[in-house]
Structure 1
């Protein structure tokens, strides 16, 4: 009897999934929007879910299927999504008409997932706006320049470790992902939490093991993540947790104890905890120096306070510290790894970058924030890395009030977007579109020279997002990337060998931006 009931329930579920899948496809087509069918339950991402290919290729297949359309239908699990292809429409959604699309699409129960749901990334509506306004002064140029000494110290530790452990002039195999995870971990520990750790020498430190734990989800956590993506409302109602309680407690305890110690002993340190303390007190303000960078990735209108900003609790601040850690440890780390991979398989570009670094080292004694801004070729290399290998993939948002998109193609009618509709503004596929970047597979930093970058079409380069929801830590991330490359290339030549994959392709088994087979190089002392 029980078996028969289970079979009946399973049959009902399968029928429902097929019905929902077909309904989504028919709804798109009825409104003149092209869509690739995909498969029930997994939609257009079924190949990446089953580790047949990286999810970028799932998005890219849909993007390229209908080249004349401004937007297309995308099936995400059982949810219909509008995938925006046209840069002008992306501009409307992310900047001009941002008030219609203020929130991201993920739904998490804040009691069950306080670190993620309470972070700036997933905060919603007025609470998000208030936190964004509160934290914006913490990520300006004048604040970021105080972080560079921490980054320099960590990078020198890595270089010293490598020099000590290289037997002869050339290293054996170097697992770049492992190396960079130590660097990004230590940078975040120092510049955000005021902790001095050396992960290349001691990988058992709690900060490093926590980062590794977050980067390598268990099988049950992967299932939970899939369910959060496919059935967000249900998982929120069921209070499903993505991370165990000890992760939450780890970050809360560090933040709370550090704040209490500093307040009791009148200790100040120019790091992220200090900025969060000032934010909680309402004393964090911008200075006149904070408009010193024309940061292309931050195009859009900055938010202005319209009323007194709310008081923030220790849980609120912990969530912001956590997301800063998670983004710095994994997302920024992936970009550095892929930059090193590209330099290994493009030795001419590596040599040109080294010449700039060598000249700067000869002329300047210390690598400062101002010196980094002067290094134009380094900036070009990092921008080209972020063009080819941006972690963003899509900028997702949820329509919160009825909106009309321009016609999907010439001769069609405007498309009515209902409240609650998911919208994905595509990023990487635009970055790799021949229409905007000729020969896109080629790693060519000169695309971002002073002469050439003014010809880049607006909203076709979006590695950190666009508009008010752009990544608040973008300046920090770029500094973190540049500081490490400076110290590494100043001391070592990066060598390709038989384990260095060329051409570089994305792994099938991970949603992060990582090379198939890993990134392996050898290093030669300079």
Structure 2
């Protein structure tokens, strides 16, 4: 089975999906994510060094953060060390951009695949050259490590363990809760015997990890930085926490990140106001009747195979649940107020068994960079910084209209 064929089956269904979810879940526990922090620190410091050279200039946050997200995934998922700011045309970044730059034709295919999955089951979304590139990286890296008995705490290593059946769940871990937005682990039990995963199938998971995580994480981080630029009081409070944490602990690690409550509030509020997940779609597997949506309306019968779309922003920007919903207010997630949030009204990483398996990774990736950024720089609003934020239309990803532009001034 080729990687291209694997990526066509997006998303997996039924027991095949249950097996893959159960196989990979141990790869995303807090204890596994903890091992990836040094890589994120290293790449964050590359960003800091670059911004020091650009001090006083108006910079495009979108471009810089997407290069950060690219380098983090290259290192933590594929075992490749690149610096996309120093080498902007490296092969990994070029190929990643080819995957994430959707043409009108690709967008139409994706819509039709969602609406008519049976009809479009043989369609390809991603360029074949890109999928073959990622397949080659995973295959060659696995073979090299097996031959030379090399271990590195990254996604390739975890996939190798999954293939051998040695990747085991460790039970509840105190490290698993990295932030308010972390999705709850829900045990998924396959109904049939355990599947043996081919190298191509696991390579497809690494590829989808990149495709699903690159743009969503980059968008959220870029919007968090934009919000800090136009909300200096929030940024000042965050700097106080970052500075105190740095003075006490020095270099950030997983446990230190867990203890930074206001940083968690800031990123949780970013995910509320600017959720990268636009919709959650779910397929009905048992007949169900929904109650009337309003007085005088009729119940709605949902049949097996029907697809339901839940628009995330309709919940997270509803004034019924979040007063003054367009205000950027991290205190909504403070210890004193977070109990007011109804669980099913905050779903930036989805909900239920098909929630985002990599929520810890995405949150960690964002927080590590924000720690280093705010420790070293004051993020300033410029004439090109859009305030209030308006999103660009016509794309699947969330980006600020005209781009996110700020200025970084080194702290003394």
For this structure pair, what is the TM-score category when the shorter chain's length is used for normalisation? over 0.9
Q: How many residues align?
A: 409
Structure 2: distance between partners of 1:286 and 1:246:
35
CA distances 1:232-266 after superposition (whole Å, capped 9, x unpaired):
43333xx3322222111101100100000111111
Residue aligning to 2:255: 370
5 Å-filtered alignment, 1:181-330, equals: 181-236=66-121, 239-288=122-171, 290-294=173-177, 297-299=182-184, 301-304=186-189, 308-330=193-215
The RMSD of aligned alpha carbons is 1.9
Q: Cα 1:341–1:115, aligned 2, differ >3 Å: closer, same or farther?
A: farther
- Does the aligned pair in 1 maintain the 2:15–2:191 contact within 8 Å? no
5 Å-filtered alignment, 1:57-456, equals: 113-118=4-9, 122-163=11-52, 165-166=53-54, 170-236=55-121, 239-288=122-171, 290-294=173-177, 297-299=182-184, 301-304=186-189, 308-410=193-295, 414-456=299-341
Shift of 1:410: 4.4
Shift of 1:287: 2.2
- Does the aligned pair in 2 maintain the 1:134–1:309 contact within 8 Å? no
- Does the aligned pair in 2 maintain the 1:407–1:413 contact within 8 Å? yes
Shift of 1:298: 2.1
Return the TM-score normalized by structure 1: 0.75
Q: For residue 451 of structure 1, give the secondary structure of its aligned residue in structure 2.
A: coil
- Does the aligned pair in 2 maintain the 1:399–1:420 contact within 8 Å? yes
Q: Cα 1:496–1:296, aligned 2, differ >3 Å: closer, same or farther?
A: closer
CA distances 1:395-414 after superposition (whole Å, capped 9, x unpaired):
10111232222333346554
Shift of 1:308: 4.2
Structure 2: distance between partners of 1:130 and 1:274:
19
- Does the aligned pair in 2 maintain the 1:130–1:309 contact within 8 Å? yes
Structure 2: distance between partners of 1:299 and 1:136:
12
Q: For residue 343 of structure 2, give the secondary structure of its aligned residue in structure 1.
A: coil
- Does the aligned pair in 2 maintain the 1:148–1:369 contact within 8 Å? yes
Q: For residue 395 of structure 1, give the secondary structure of its aligned residue in structure 2.
A: strand
Bigger Cα Rg: 1
CA distances 1:335-354 after superposition (whole Å, capped 9, x unpaired):
00000010010011011101
Q: For residue 493 of structure 1, give the secondary structure of its aligned residue in structure 2.
A: strand
- Does the aligned pair in 2 maintain the 1:356–1:377 contact within 8 Å? yes
- Does the aligned pair in 1 maintain the 2:8–2:124 contact within 8 Å? no
Uncovered stretches (5+) of structure 1, i.e. residues with no partner: 1-109
Shift of 1:315: 1.7
Residue aligning to 1:486: 371
- Correspondence 1:497 to 2:382: yes
- Does the aligned pair in 2 maintain the 1:142–1:289 contact within 8 Å? no
Return the TM-score normalized by structure 2: 0.94
Shift of 1:116: 2.9
Q: Cα 1:361–1:291, aligned 2, differ >3 Å: closer, same or farther?
A: closer
Shift of 1:424: 1.1
CA distances 1:351-399 after superposition (whole Å, capped 9, x unpaired):
1101100111111122110000000000000000000011112210111
Q: Cα 1:297–1:288, aligned 2, differ >3 Å: closer, same or farther?
A: closer
